Structure 1
Amino acid sequence: MKKKSTDPEKEMSFLDHLEELRWHLVRSTLAVLIVAILAFIFKRFIFDTLIFGPSRPEFATYSIFCDISRALGMDAFCFQEMPFKIQSRTMAGQFSAHMWTSIYAGIIIAFPYILYEFWKFISPGLNENERKSSRGFIVIASFLFFLGVLFGYYLITPLSINFLGSYQVSDEVINQFDLDSYISLVRTSVLACGIVFELPILMYILTKIGLVSPEILRKYRKFALIIVLVLSAVITPPDIVSQIIVAIPIVILYEVSIYISKVVIKNQEKELKKEERKKKKEERE
């Protein structure tokens, strides 16, 4: 195979790009596996503290909501015990849950490094101005992702568990949930919110490549609001309060995305004018 050139000015072939991408993927996978192994070892903390935390009445969210509801003259979220039990009904159920939860923990915790490897792959294709304007990409994207993860863990997850765990069609039916079903709810709530909170980053990229603009985002704001409400209904229990709690930050993120798109367009116009002045100056000389 042709040896990869170390000259930065020399264009890489398609196979060289594939080889470079392969090593970025390998390093990202190794980072996920290392964190997953650590999560596998510290299973007591991962499961007893994090995973099963929202299933306990003393969880922070329930305590705060209980205090707020009592201040309003109600007793919502004030309870001594969750009205359900978690069980494993298959031979490999607990081991499988342990393994996959460790892998997802690896993905979540190693997310900044995965972004770093992604950035290292695409950054050589950017010009100097684009690299400067995108300098804080990893930090901002990681911050938004972890903010979404915390939002999903401390708000969406306990709201969903409280609603679905206490819901009964009849007193004859006892709620005994499978371990995989419970973990799936926690995982989906956390990851969905983490991804949704990347909306400003997505809009930044789409604006940079010319697919969206502030005008388009404003024009379709009403449609976006409908999509937000549908999305909040999908990732939350079917009650109005939970949907509003989810919809508010998503709407805020959408408005922030409009502002970011506006800034990107202004910067592009400035760069274009700067290049035009430079060309005119060169023509005069």
Structure 2
Amino acid sequence: MSSSPEDELAGTEQPFVSHLIELRDRLIRALLAIGVAFGLLCLYPGPAGLYDLLAAPLVAHLPKGSSMIATNVLSPFLVPLKITMLAGFLVALPVVLYQVWAFVAPGLYSHEKRLVLPLVVSSTVLFFIGVAFCYFFVFGQVFKFIQGFAPKSIMAAPDIEAYLGFVMTMFIAFGAAFEVPVVVVVLARMGLVTVEKLREFRGYFIVLAFVIAAIITPPDIVSQLALAIPMCLLYELGIWSAGAFIRATKAPDDTDDAKDAAG
């Protein structure tokens, strides 16, 4: 005899204080993981090394004799430190997400666990892929385009704080754009839209993707295509994944449970 979905959580209730204690412990573990990652990155390659790595795509396209500048007295110290803290969080992100998952998993039904865990993992992987794609491909094309249009009479000397802000904006934009399949799957799984409607919306999404790319990216055709085309491809991936995901995470039917109980 199989138990009903309502019985899956039987005996898992804990006092409110116990939940708070567990939440505190998991937050501490997540913060410790971030702290350890931050400390290791401070040792190697170090804040200065990390900034040099982040600035490499721009420096490679600066004219000879040009370099980046700091217009604020504390910028040479604070900017590399901020980058190291961000890198530490990204390195420790798998541990952070595991702590989140371990905290909420006991309160989920089995079909809900099949829904949440793949979404957490896939959204994290897609975000990292978007950031890597931006760094290794898009930056080189963007900076090459910008320097190609710069007058010869201008000596480029970008500010390190302004560069950090630009990089963070681009990373977030590409990381979020690569979440398109996750958004599509969630919308379909929640019943807000059907897979058929998503297919019908395909043409509108292509136009929307190019509009978003034109707004977010610098005014060069390479970076706009580099954002719009992956968004369109990922939308197709989301449509394909939605059907399979809905079937895999479907809650058990009450009628099936009744039959199992009778058997």
Q: TM-score, normalised by structure 2?
A: 0.79
SS at match of 2:219: coil
Corresponding residue for residue 27 of structure 1? 29
Alpha-carbon distance, 1:171 to partner: 5.2
Q: Does 1:47 align with 2:26?
A: no
Task: State how far apart, in whole Å, the 2-side matches of 1:268 and 1:52 are.
Answer: 43
Per the alignment, do residues 218 and 37 of structure 1 end up closer, same or farther by CA in structure 2, a change over 3 Å counting? same
Alignment of 1:183-202 (within 5 A): 183-202=164-183
Corresponding residue for residue 194 of structure 2? 213
Task: State how far apart, in whole Å, the 1-side matches of 2:239 and 2:87 are.
Answer: 32
Per the alignment, do residues 115 and 11 of structure 1 end up closer, same or farther by CA in structure 2, a change over 3 Å counting? same
Query: Which blocks of at least 5 consecutive residues in structure 1 are unaligned?
Result: 1-6, 58-78
Task: State how far apart, in whole Å, the 1-side matches of 2:26 and 2:176 are.
Answer: 21
Alignment of 1:72-91 (within 5 A): 81=63, 84-91=66-73
Corresponding residue for residue 230 of structure 2? 249
Corresponding residue for residue 278 of structure 1? 257
Alpha-carbon distance, 1:251 to partner: 1.0
Query: Which blocks of at least 5 consecutive residues in structure 2 are unaligned?
Result: 1-8
- The equivalent position to 2:11 in structure 1, one of 9, 13, 27, is 9
Task: State how far apart, in whole Å, the 2-side matches of 1:235 and 1:196 are.
Answer: 11
Task: State how far apart, in whole Å, the 2-side matches of 1:228 and 1:23 are.
Answer: 42
Q: What RMSD in Å do the two structures reach over aligned CA positions? A: 3.1
Contact 1:84/1:165 (CA < 8 Å) preserved in 2?
no
Range moving further from structure 2, 186-195 or 109-118 = 186-195
Task: State how far apart, in whole Å, the 1-side matches of 2:63 and 2:154 are.
Answer: 18
Alpha-carbon distance, 1:82 to partner: 6.3
Which of 1 and 2 has higher RCO (CA within 8 Å, sep 6+)? 2
Structure 1 vs Structure 2: percent identity of aligned residues? 29
Corresponding residue for residue 116 of structure 1? 98
Per the alignment, do residues 82 and 124 of structure 1 end up closer, same or farther by CA in structure 2, a change over 3 Å counting? farther
SS at match of 1:152: helix
Per the alignment, do residues 112 and 213 of structure 1 end up closer, same or farther by CA in structure 2, a change over 3 Å counting? farther
Query: Number of paired residues?
Result: 253
